[in-house]
Amino acid sequence: MFSQNEKWPAKKLKQDLTIFKEIREKANSGLYKYRNKKQIDSIYNWAFSKIKEPQQLIEFYKILLQITDFEGSLHNDTTLPDDFEKQYSLGNVFFPYPVKIIQNQLILNFENTEIPLGSQIHSINGIETKKILASLYKYYTTDGYNITGKSIGIGSSFSKYFEMEYGPQKSFLVEYSLPNQAQKLIKSVSSVSNEIRKENFKKRFSLPSDSLQYQKAKEKYSFKIISEKTALFSVHTFVIGRNAKDKLHLAYKKYLDSCFQYLSNHPEIKNLIVDIRNNGGGTDPNDIVTFSYLTQKPYRENSSAYVNFQKIPFTQNLVYEETEPQKQQEERKDFEDEIKEEFPKLINQKYIQDQKFNPLLQPDKNSFKGQIFLLISPRIASAGSLFASLVAGNTNAIVIGEETMGGYFGHNGHTPIEYELPNTKIKTRFSIVNLEQDVPKKANQIFGRGVIPDHNVSQTLEDFMQNKDTQFEYTLKLINTK
């Protein structure tokens, strides 16, 4: 059992940091995707310089988080040992109310009797909001240099992140102003337990408009005719079966066929709104199959892909799904066999993907020929952002909303691997396939950033107070003016 206040010898922490670095150099193909070697070496020099004296596990963890986030992959995840995190979260130590970032302001997102709904928070316990938000970015990874996606993590886990960053608090002195007012007010609010923190989040004011960003959608996809000339296709996740043979995927493919056959038979429907704002990703080939109904040209999933290894390095630190040694050996062999099959050739110290795993694909015969309007948000990640990139780069789509957290040009994905550090038992997870998406360069798309919309539309405070769907209403107006 870990003690919350126990200090770890600097020697043991440096051993773990060294292994953390070596694992990533050997196994993580995305290590230098957004940062050069000098920058990566520099952050490790900083990290080692922070470990001169014994320190608590939580402080060492925050150093590892800074590195994990700096690399720039939303599939990166570094986690505390389970028993430590449970112990650390005991007692009334959490900020009581959910918050939401709206146009770079921290807004109270809960109806209560202490601080009115929609109030802007300027500081907590004397720490300015701007400083708080910047300090919490490391707790939620995004692709490249993206910042917008961090609002998703902060929106769901602000109280938890605040406690990790600034320690357990008995109360919170909140400096705030009422909606659309300049005068600053101060209120002291009591901290709450982890259970109440979670319950309050479930009762947040914005639930009707953002429930799908944080919960599994019961209705994963839908199709509606919303006017004589406009249809709406929504796909809230690509977690639709495990592979191309799964019955859930086959049902989805059948549904897509019926929807787009209907559009093909009704040429008067000239506009198609494709809403993927809640899509945090999922499994192949759901994203690629969906795209086949929107494109007029042959396409590939990616233009290139590679991994760093065929034989897993640091197997002594590997986290297995299996518990028995014999089954662990089989699990490792299966993993390596799949890697060798898909990435057989070593070229310039990279194992390159065999093209049979990345074939040239054709548009569906019923692919939509009219005007596409793609709705995007900071929630979009992984397979969701790959799909958004293909649509934004290779169709006539007008893209509306906010920058995605997943990269436009590429990402590290597909195949996750997890390691455990020997001393602290902190786990670190990342995806090993470095891929470049099959998209063209565009004037408004920036390396290291997510998909940038053609029309940048975010919710205003007034729309938040009414739970309005700002982007959808904007899109309908845009269609009507055309």
In the chain, the percentage of residues whose pLDDT exceeds 70 is 99
Q: Residue 334 class from Cβ within 10 Å (0-12 exposed, 13-18 middle, 19+ buried)? A: exposed
When pLDDT is averaged across residues 15-35 and rounded to a whole number, the result is 98
Q: Is 223 helix (H, G, I), strand (E, B) or coil?
A: strand
Confidence at 292, pLDDT banded by 50, 70, 90: very high
Among candidate residues 415, 263, 262, 265, the one with its CA nearest the CA of residue 338:
415
Q: Is 132 helix (H, G, I), strand (E, B) or coil?
A: helix
d(CA 391, CA 35): 27
Q: Is 92 helix (H, G, I), strand (E, B) or coil?
A: coil
Confidence at 2, pLDDT banded by 50, 70, 90: low
pTM over 0.85: yes
For the chain, what is the mean pLDDT? 96
In the chain, the percentage of residues whose pLDDT exceeds 90 is 95
Q: What is the DSSP string of 346-378?
A: EETTEEEPPGGGS--B---TT---SEEEEEE-T
Contact indicator for 4, 164 with CB cutoff of 8 Å = no
Q: How high is the pLDDT of residue 3?
A: 65
Confidence at 89, pLDDT banded by 50, 70, 90: confident
pLDDT tens for 319-349 read 999 999 999 999 999 999 999 999 999 999 9
When pLDDT is averaged across residues 463-478 and rounded to a whole number, the result is 97
Q: What is the 3-state secondary structure (H, E, C) of 159-204?
A: HHHHHHHHCCCCEEEEEEECCCCCCCEEEEEECECHHHHHHHHHCC
pLDDT for 1 beyond 60: no
Q: Residue 423 class from Cβ within 10 Å (0-12 exposed, 13-18 middle, 19+ buried)? A: middle
